[in-house]
Amino acid sequence: MAALTAAPAPETSRAVPAGGTRRRPRVWRGVVGLIAALYFLGPMVFSVIFTLDVPGQGFTLDSYSGILGTDGFWPGVRLTGELAAATIAGVLLLLVPALLAVRLTAPRLRVLVEIVCSLPLVVPAVALTAGISQVLSWGPDHFANTPLFQTFNDIQNPSFPLVLVLAYILMSMPLAYRTLDAGLRAIDVPTLVEAARNCGASWPRAVVQVVLPNMRGALLNTAFLTLALVLGEYTVSSILGYTPFAVWIVSIGDSQAQTSVAVSVISLFLTWGLLLLLAAVGRGPSRRPSRTSRSSRRLAAAAAPAAQEIP
């Protein structure tokens, strides 16, 4: 019976190189990669050539060397930096406590919060700016004899237009919500908070010292996306009559086209560099567990006996 039921000998396969398995060449991967490279890098290459090739002079770096001395450069950079810092702070202060409260105390409200944070996606920037303009023109006439009259004037201060910060916060909410929600999904927030509370920590200390360090990557990604939105936003600020960095680049394009393109190229490279830096900081050391992870595991282990004693 053993001879009758013996499995047939396997057929000999083709010879395999000594270095490992044979890999078939994937031509389509190279084609897709080439098309993507031409699509993304092609405009950049031609933009750099346009800034370097001056008719009648040949290749020169005058477009880049004169950027710092161009009128309006430093005021635009300063205003954009202030708006970006205020917008990032506003987005984090608004969404992080709200998402933590929903996840810890009211999970059923998560769908409602998601819908509210996604609403700016369906409102075009032009429509949002038109609504803001109507409110700004309507408010002073109806609140002339109230303290709100000065408030309408203060939020339109040209040195720091707070109205742009409010608009940028609304525009960045969908992306910020997705990023922060993904970061919260990656950790067990109720267990961490419960462990910290069982160890004697207060609610603010549990959130600041236990939950937020585990969300470092999500917080950095949210900050970068918000910064990228503020750096590249043009519609709202131009219609409302302010001149941050993006509006300044467009405004000098008619008189100094090469300088305008040179500034755009430099800002794009700086944005890429900042993205890589934030990605490296958010990833952190991969081999050795971080101090935050070790402390979180210790808190979870300390909370386990207390949870077992509950009848």
Please compute, for residue 152, the number of CA atoms within 13 A of its CA located in the half-sphere on the CB side.
18
- Residue 110 belongs to some domain of the structure: yes
- Residue 89 belongs to some domain of the structure: yes
- Residue 49 belongs to some domain of the structure: no
pLDDT per residue over 206-262, tens digit each?
888 888 888 888 998 899 889 889 988 999 999 999 999 889 988 888 778 888 888
The β-bridge relationship of strands 58-59 and 53-54 is antiparallel
What local confidence, expressed as pLDDT, does residue 168 receive?
95
- Residue 1 belongs to some domain of the structure: no
First to last CA, the chain: 61
What local confidence, expressed as pLDDT, does residue 230 receive?
92
Average pLDDT of the chain is: 80
* Torsion angle in degrees (nearest 10) through CA of 85, 206, 170, 89: -10
Domain count, the chain: 1
Question: Which of 70-79, 121-130, 158-167, 268-277 is least confident?
Answer: 268-277
- Residue 207 belongs to some domain of the structure: yes
pLDDT per residue over 39-77, tens digit each?
888 888 888 888 887 777 778 787 888 788 888 888 988
Query: Nearest-CA neighbor of 125 among 83, 152, 164?
Result: 164
Contacts 24+ apart (CB under 8 A), 74-78: 75/243, 75/248, 76/243, 76/244, 76/245, 76/247, 76/248, 76/249, 77/245
What share of the chain in percent tops pLDDT 70?
A: 82
125, 171 contact by CB (below 8 A): yes
- Residue 47 belongs to some domain of the structure: no
What local confidence, expressed as pLDDT, does residue 201 receive?
83
Whichever domain contains 136, its CATH number is 1.10.3720.10
Q: What's the rounded Cα separation, in Å, for the pair 168 and 87?
A: 6
What local confidence, expressed as pLDDT, does residue 289 receive?
44
In sequence order, what are the beta bridge partners of 59? 53
- Residue 63 belongs to some domain of the structure: no
pLDDT per residue over 17-45, tens digit each?
555 555 555 788 888 888 988 888 888 88
Confidence of residue 273 (pLDDT cuts 50, 70, 90): confident
Domain that holds residue 264: 72-281
